[in-house]
Structure 1
Amino acid sequence: MVVRQESRPGSGADASPPEFQEAVATMRDATLRPEIFCEEMPAPQRIAPYAAALSADVTVDGTDVGTGRIILLHDPAGNDAWDGTFRCVAYARAEIELDMITDPLLADVGWTWLTEALASHGAGYTAVSGTVTRVATESFGGMSDEEGAAQLEIRASWTPLAATPGGGLDVGPHVEAWGELLCTAVGLPPVPDGVTVMPGRRGQRGSGR
């Protein structure tokens, strides 16, 4: 999988700091479940001097049931709001059963999916924040025969921590936690302990999609 790196106009991708290049390399090495199709996407250029991004779709029985993206931001000068020089920004959206939309605990559970995924992958972090949004769609008039639909959207950002003081940043566990969040949100069962996860599909989709 090739992870696209972006930098602000005038800096040039080749001018990105070694620590950012190394962190992006760990994004590339992350292992995701086979239900996840992951590919590069353009990264935002106005939030931080350097950025890299991935997008993903979760497919079950040939149907896309979830989508998301994760962005790695880097500002060598540091950012007070981040409490560090790196920041992960993640988004996940999943189709859910319509009757789940009224569950008062749904938002809390959705946020727990994220924090538990980070913990289970050993992805150290600080300064986490985000939102959980539920959306219900119902059709009327000429479209009244269409079934209602519901979606859950999770948006979050956090500052990834190096595994050891002075060590390089390994973003792989954060990407893998994001992948687990996507799969949990769409209702896929967790991978049993002791079972090796086969890497998901990487690269470009065919022209037919």
Structure 2
Amino acid sequence: MATRSASSSGAEDFTRALADLHGASVRSELRLTEVPAPSRIAPHAVALTAAVLTNPASDDDVASGRFVLLHDPACPEPWGGAWRIVTFARAELEPEFGADPLLGEVGWSWLEEALEAHDLDYGGAAGTVTRVISESFGAMSDRPATVELEVRASWTPHDGRPGAHLRAWCDVLCTIAGLPPLPEGVVALPGRRR
């Protein structure tokens, strides 16, 4: 009986994960693009960028982010498993949200709710929610203040469903972009949302 090496087994597992990611269906307002993945963190990695478009025919985005799936068959101790997902999501919000003391908690709850809504098994969730308030002065004082929200998160998936984790993260990205949630099977009408 032939035995597989850990590296060939890890490559096969990663190939299956890639197929699951590529098969994930996301909202029509999202544009996903595969980009070079970090090469030093894990033996196997894939990275996707995402943009939430105001109009699918244009390049104007209201939110953007990055989703990275890492796989290391050696199961690094900090991960608590062989897989790790690392994400970033950013969107500009209405200026009045900048003063909300609960904005960070709300931003993190969007991630937890999205993972729960997709019935995902995961552990080791960690991250930050940052608000960036930009005010202009001097010759630029006529520009209105802007508020950006950034949600950076990572977690260890335990269920072998990376495509479902991608869909959950896309839900978070759409939420911070201000898009209303869509029930399964419903398609959003194109047009400006903000």
Q: TM-score scaled to structure 2, two decimals? A: 0.87
AA matched with 1:92: A
Does the CA contact (< 8 Å) of 1:31 and 1:197 recur in 2?
Answer: no
Residue 147 (structure 1) shift: 1.5
Does the CA contact (< 8 Å) of 1:101 and 1:134 recur in 2?
Answer: yes
Aligned to 1:196: 186
TM alignment of 1:48-127, pairs within 5 A: 48-61=42-55, 62=58, 63-127=60-124
Alignment gaps of 5+ in structure 1: 1-13, 163-168, 199-209
Does the CA contact (< 8 Å) of 2:10 and 2:73 recur in 1?
Answer: no
Change (3 A) 1:129 1:93: same
Aligned to 1:32: 26
Change (3 A) 1:46 1:35: same
Which residue among 151, 156, 163 is the counterpart of 2:153?
A: 156
* RMSD over aligned Cα atoms: 1.7
Q: Distance in 2 between matches of 1:197 and 1:31?
A: 12
TM alignment of 1:120-139, pairs within 5 A: 120-139=117-136
Residue 116 (structure 1) shift: 0.4
Q: Distance in 2 between matches of 1:140 and 1:177?
A: 39
Alignment gaps of 5+ in structure 2: 1-7, 189-194
Higher strand share: 1
**Aligned pair 1:178/2:172, yes or no?**
no
Residue 15 (structure 1) shift: 9.5
| 1:176-204 per-position Cα deviation (integer Å, ceiling 9, x unaligned) | 0010000001111111x354348xxxxxx
Residue 138 (structure 1) shift: 0.9
**Aligned pair 1:17/2:14, yes or no?**
no
Give the aligned length: 178
Structure 1 segments (4+ residues) deviating >3 Å: 193-198
Aligned to 2:138: 141
Q: Distance in 1 between matches of 2:120 and 2:187?
A: 18
AA matched with 1:141: G
AA matched with 2:110: W
Identical-pair percentage: 48
Does the CA contact (< 8 Å) of 2:10 and 2:72 recur in 1?
Answer: no
Q: Distance in 2 between matches of 1:95 and 1:186?
A: 7
Q: Distance in 2 between matches of 1:183 and 1:194?
A: 15
AA matched with 1:88: I
